[in-house]
């Protein structure tokens, strides 16, 4: 095969090119020709095809995502916003925190272990590239039906991938979610979050500036894995008729990544880096074009200097390879020697592959011959943008009319009791410790709270006890019923979870998992969900710092439930004040905060008892969420509450069960006069939490809630070894424990 140089491309304008196989549309190919004034070379075509893929360019989602900027609330805490590798938030005392949640859905279905492992690897490098030491990870996961045979293939692989990669990096896994639903059967959602900490002055950005500065590629050698991962895997619908896509999944080496982390942190400390970018989706194509596009001037790269795992790789393959554990840094010439020395110390391969030029082009050479000559912005930042058609689905009204509040309800205490046991033992409500016990939650020695607590919390300063808390939430069932409200419910739940542990919510990151944008139904769901999220963030004062969009999550014509996953970051001045979820002190009083209404649409009860999805999701009142958050934070700070648990999936009875089992103590509960026992136990009204108040604090706590106008009802007391709902039923803790903990191991172990 002859090398397709720029000169060759000029001479052979009519040469046949595989643009369609690379995922480009006819008009996109035409536009590339127009930009270049000639046909692209093979290498240029490779770069444009991966960078203009849905995954990298956000071409279908951009027009909706811009609301996150337009409606962003005033917030002094934002140091770096959307567009960089990850957003950065000021948490006080000179510290900055960066966090992001991202998807690795498609690779994880094809090759669960490696797909999930490299998902962790990618998000960790994003955080590292901002200048931060990664301090924790979390994984919101969604699988097909718990008892489906393929779930037994996918789930254990995903969990072992997350475990083996994250555990080997020395990052505590402090939270996340595991949800089962048949809609994810052919499209599991494997989202990964990483959070990192640095001082304000350590923030680094992805830009290449200063003519003469060197471009250094360091980390693992480049191999043939992951070629076309973003364009072939993440930007298309799965189809049985096409050949296996396994080679498009990258293979990870956590040991190499651990060295890369320590090496990079030492390089930052020595102040050797001008700009830096990790290599993830679209590999070198992405890193070189984004660095050059964001900086001043151009860039010249000698591609044949790249260290290869396989010497037979073509230049196009090298540009598209998604080999893991690689970073690209811009370094002043005088600092290169020291840079290479630190890499040598950590046994990390580093190569100067090019330099920043004073031109305006990204130029790439292969053994002296030019194979790429492009304006970098056209590759990285000025890709196609589509305002795709969308319309409210024809079935939406019928779905909402199928009211869950009208489903048959339990008659009497015995049936209530049976349904409670069915609920807490159902796969979605059952304990997930069989999964989370495969992750290291202790490493780094700063973990204050981890799963199953409402949020994960880590200490970031040993002297002042400053800490951060993060919770991730999403509810595809609610979002299917009403995407606008569903997205806000995800935001509200994550916000509430952070506040429940005593931390003040500051900012969010989101991972938007949807079906094909070419389907107007799906595009409507996406438009509604982003609008809901942007409006919600404005009310709660929590800006979106960044995140990720994953589209084409569908098999054939059937899309997953629209599933926006929201991660909320909060700060707590003193982690000693954190509020755990366990009811551990006998005699403490249980208060239900917020209003309980008859809201069963999309509820866990409707799923477990009736296999039903219909009606409207619970209503959202974000002003109320904010008030509830303020009460939970003040209660924690002033020592008025000893335990708190948010109410969400499964309602009050699920929350009380979890808190009792966590603390090893029972509870005696009285149904408030104005509520039906069934609604009291199973409704999923938003804006609620249950708290344990020491008797000595009851008056003060009641006064605070009264003065602030938050409904607070005393519903019982921590006591004994049973959960007793007065006049209804009693269940021994031992029976609840067995029901809650046996399900997942029985299905998967």
- Catalytic residues, by residue number, are 55, 104
Among 360, 437, 703, 721, binds other proteins (CB under 8 A): 437
The answer to whether residue 469 forms part of the interface with other proteins (CB under 8 A) is: no
Stretch that binds other proteins, among 164-172, 317-325, 357-365, 673-681 (CB under 8 A): 164-172
The answer to whether residue 702 forms part of the interface with other proteins (CB under 8 A) is: no
The answer to whether residue 464 forms part of the interface with other proteins (CB under 8 A) is: no
Residue 576 beta carbon to other proteins: minimum distance, rounded to whole angstroms: 6
Between 574 and 630, CB nearer to other proteins = 574
Stretch that binds other proteins, among 99-107, 209-217, 439-447, 713-721 (CB under 8 A): 439-447
Q: Which of 706, 694, 712, 594 is nearest to 636 (CA)?
A: 694
User: 87 has which bridge partners?
Assistant: 99
Q: What are phi and psi of 4, to 5 degrees?
A: -90, 90
The answer to whether residue 462 forms part of the interface with other proteins (CB under 8 A) is: yes
Among 53, 357, 425, 447, binds other proteins (CB under 8 A): 447
The answer to whether residue 443 forms part of the interface with other proteins (CB under 8 A) is: yes
Residue 162 beta carbon to other proteins: minimum distance, rounded to whole angstroms: 10
Residue 675 beta carbon to other proteins: minimum distance, rounded to whole angstroms: 35
Residue 283 beta carbon to other proteins: minimum distance, rounded to whole angstroms: 23
Between 159 and 690, CB nearer to other proteins = 159
Among 314, 444, 464, 730, binds other proteins (CB under 8 A): 444
Question: In whole angstroms, what is the distance from residue 1 CA to residue 516 CA?
Answer: 37
The answer to whether residue 603 forms part of the interface with other proteins (CB under 8 A) is: no
The answer to whether residue 253 forms part of the interface with other proteins (CB under 8 A) is: yes
Question: In whole angstroms, what is the distance from residue 214 CA to residue 433 CA?
Answer: 48
Q: Which of 300, 316, 304 is nearest to 363 (CA)?
A: 300
Between 182 and 748, CB nearer to other proteins = 748
| DSSP state for residue 222 in the 8-state scheme | B
| DSSP state for residue 283 in the 8-state scheme | H
The answer to whether residue 438 forms part of the interface with other proteins (CB under 8 A) is: yes
Between 115 and 383, CB nearer to other proteins = 115
Between 388 and 459, CB nearer to other proteins = 459
Among 80, 128, 492, 575, binds other proteins (CB under 8 A): 575
End-to-end CA separation in angstroms for the chain: 51
CA atoms within 13 A on the CB side of 625: 28
Among 31, 38, 63, 160, binds other proteins (CB under 8 A): 160
Question: In whole angstroms, what is the distance from residue 548 CA to residue 513 CA?
Answer: 9
Between 246 and 345, CB nearer to other proteins = 345
Question: In whole angstroms, what is the distance from residue 584 CA to residue 663 CA?
Answer: 4
The answer to whether residue 745 forms part of the interface with other proteins (CB under 8 A) is: no
Between 459 and 624, CB nearer to other proteins = 459
Stretch that binds other proteins, among 209-217, 234-242, 572-580, 680-688 (CB under 8 A): 572-580
Question: In whole angstroms, what is the distance from residue 545 CA to residue 543 CA?
Answer: 6
Cβ(542)–Cβ(507) below 8 Å:
yes
Between 160 and 464, CB nearer to other proteins = 160
User: What are the b/e assignments for 173-184, b being 16+ CB within 10 Å?
Assistant: bbbbbbbbbebb
The helix/strand/coil state of 96 is strand
The answer to whether residue 448 forms part of the interface with other proteins (CB under 8 A) is: yes
Reduce the secondary structure of 407-429 to three states and give it as a string.
CCCCCCHHHHHHHHHHHHHCCCC
Q: Which of 682, 745, 685, 718 is nearest to 418 (CA)?
A: 682
Question: In whole angstroms, what is the distance from residue 455 CA to residue 444 CA?
Answer: 18
The helix/strand/coil state of 691 is strand
User: What are the b/e assignments for 628-664, b being 16+ CB within 10 Å?
Assistant: bbebbbbbbbeebbbbbbbbbbbbbbbbbbbbbbbbe
The answer to whether residue 451 forms part of the interface with other proteins (CB under 8 A) is: no
Residue 452 beta carbon to other proteins: minimum distance, rounded to whole angstroms: 14
User: 661 has which bridge partners?
Assistant: none
Among 23, 121, 196, 254, binds other proteins (CB under 8 A): 254
Stretch that binds other proteins, among 108-116, 251-259, 474-482, 698-706 (CB under 8 A): 251-259
Alpha-carbon distances of 734 from 655, 656, 738, rounded to whole Å: 17, 14, 6
Place of tokens 């149904």: 671
Residue 58 beta carbon to other proteins: minimum distance, rounded to whole angstroms: 35
Among 55, 59, 258, 300, binds other proteins (CB under 8 A): 258
Among 167, 314, 702, 722, binds other proteins (CB under 8 A): 167
Q: Footprint of other proteins on residues 520-559 (CB under 8 A)?
A: none
The helix/strand/coil state of 170 is coil
Site string for other proteins, 321-360 (x = CB under 8 A): -------------------------xx-------------
Stretch that binds other proteins, among 93-101, 249-257, 352-360, 485-493 (CB under 8 A): 249-257
Residue 459 beta carbon to other proteins: minimum distance, rounded to whole angstroms: 7
The answer to whether residue 259 forms part of the interface with other proteins (CB under 8 A) is: yes
Between 317 and 440, CB nearer to other proteins = 440
Residue 168 beta carbon to other proteins: minimum distance, rounded to whole angstroms: 5
Among 431, 446, 596, 654, binds other proteins (CB under 8 A): 446
User: What are the b/e assignments for 374-389, b being 16+ CB within 10 Å?
Assistant: bbbbbbbeebeebebe
Which segments of 93-244 are extended strands (E)? 95-103, 133-143, 173-180, 189-199, 214-219
The answer to whether residue 170 forms part of the interface with other proteins (CB under 8 A) is: yes
Which segments of 485-640 are extended strands (E)? 504-513, 544-550, 554-555, 558-559, 563-572, 589-593
Q: Which of 291, 284, 273 is nearest to 340 (CA)?
A: 273
Residues of the shown chain interacting with other proteins in the complex, contacts defined by CB under 8 A: 160, 163-164, 167-170, 253-256, 258-259, 346-347, 436-448, 459, 462, 575-576, 578, 749
């Amino acid at each position: 095969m002859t090398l397709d140089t720029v000169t060759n491309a000029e001479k052979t304008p009519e040469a046949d090119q595989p643009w369609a196989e690379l995922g480009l549309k006819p008009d996109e190919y035409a536009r590339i020709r127009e930009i270049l004034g000639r046909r692209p070379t093979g290498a240029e075509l490779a770069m444009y095809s991966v960078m203009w893929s849905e995954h990298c360019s956000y071409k279908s989602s951009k027009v909706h995502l811009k609301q996150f900027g337009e409606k962003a609330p005033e917030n002094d805490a934002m140091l770096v916003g959307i567009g960089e590798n990850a957003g950065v938030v000021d948490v006080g005392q000179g510290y900055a925190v960066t966090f992001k949640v991202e998807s690795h859905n498609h690779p994880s279905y094809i090759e669960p272990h490696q797909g999930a492992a490299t998902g962790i690897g990618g998000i960790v490098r994003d955080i590292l590239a901002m200048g931060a030491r990664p301090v924790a990870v979390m994984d919101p996961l969604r699988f097909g039906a718990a008892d489906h045979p393929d779930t037994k293939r996918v789930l254990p692989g995903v969990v072992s991938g997350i475990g083996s990669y994250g555990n080997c990096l020395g990052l505590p896994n402090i939270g996340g979610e595991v949800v089962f639903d048949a809609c994810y059967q052919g499209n599991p959602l494997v989202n990964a979050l990483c959070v990192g900490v640095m001082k304000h002055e350590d923030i680094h950005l992805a830009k290449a500036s200063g003519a003469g500065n060197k471009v250094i590629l360091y980390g693992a050698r480049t191999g043939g894995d992951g070629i076309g991962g973003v364009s072939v895997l993440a930007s298309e619908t799965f189809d049985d008729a096409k050949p296996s896509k396994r080679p498009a999944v990258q293979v990870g080496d956590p040991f190499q990544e651990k060295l890369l982390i320590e090496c990079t942190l030492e390089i930052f400390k020595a102040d050797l880096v001008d700009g830096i970018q990790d290599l993830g989706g679209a590999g070198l194509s992405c890193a070189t074009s984004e660095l050059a596009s964001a900086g001043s001037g151009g860039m010249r790269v000698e591609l044949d200097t790249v260290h290869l795992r396989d010497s037979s790789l073509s230049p196009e393959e090298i540009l598209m390879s998604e080999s893991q554990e690689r970073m690209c840094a811009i370094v002043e010439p005088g600092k290169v020697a020291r840079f290479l020395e630190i890499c040598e110390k950590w046994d990390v391969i580093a190569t100067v592959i090019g330099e920043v030029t004073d031109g305006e082009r990204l130029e790439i050479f292969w053994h002296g011959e030019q194979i790429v000559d492009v304006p970098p912005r056209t590759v990285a930042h000025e890709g196609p943008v589509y305002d795709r058609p969308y319309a409210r689905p024809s079935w939406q009204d019928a779905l909402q009319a199928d009211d869950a509040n009208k489903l048959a309800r339990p008659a009497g205490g015995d049936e209530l009791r049976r349904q409670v046991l069915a609920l807490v033992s159902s796969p979605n409500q059952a304990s997930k410790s069989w999964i989370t016990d495969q992750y290291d939650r202790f490493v780094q020695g700063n973990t204050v709270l981890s799963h199953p607590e409402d949020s994960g919390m880590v200490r970031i300063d040993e002297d002042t006890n400053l800490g951060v808390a993060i919770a991730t939430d999403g509810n595809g069932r609610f979002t299917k019923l009403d995407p606008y409200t569903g997205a806000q419910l995800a935001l509200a739940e994550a916000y509430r979870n952070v506040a429940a542990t005593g931390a003040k919510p500051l900012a969010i990151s989101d991972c938007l998992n949807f079906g094909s944008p070419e389907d107007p139904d799906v595009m409507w769901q996406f438009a509604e969900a982003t609008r809901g999220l942007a409006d919600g963030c404005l009310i709660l004062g929590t800006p979106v710092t960044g995140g990720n969009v994953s589209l084409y999550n569908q098999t054939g014509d059937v899309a997953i439930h629209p599933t926006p996953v929201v991660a909320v970051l909060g700060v707590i001045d003193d982690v000693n004040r954190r509020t755990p979820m366990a009811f551990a002190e006998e005699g403490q009083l249980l208060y239900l905060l917020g209003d309980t209404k008859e809201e069963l649409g999309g509820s866990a009860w409707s799923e477990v008892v009736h296999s039903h999805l219909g009606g409207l999701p619970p209503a959202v009142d974000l002003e109320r969420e904010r008030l509830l958050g303020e009460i939970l934070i003040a209660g924690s700070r002033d020592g008025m509450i000893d335990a708190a648990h948010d109410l969400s999936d499964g309602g009050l009875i699920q929350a009380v069960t979890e808190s009792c089992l966590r603390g090893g103590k029972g509870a005696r509960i009285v149904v408030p006069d104005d509520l039906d026992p069934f609604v009291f136990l199973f409704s999923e009204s938003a804006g609620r939490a249950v708290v344990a108040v020491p008797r000595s604090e009851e008056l003060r706590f009641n006064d605070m809630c009264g003065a602030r106008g938050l409904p607070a009802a005393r519903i019982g007391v921590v006591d004994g070894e049973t959960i007793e709902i007065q006049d209804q039923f009693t269940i021994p803790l031992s029976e609840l424990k067995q029901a809650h903990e046996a399900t997942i191991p029985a299905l998967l172990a």
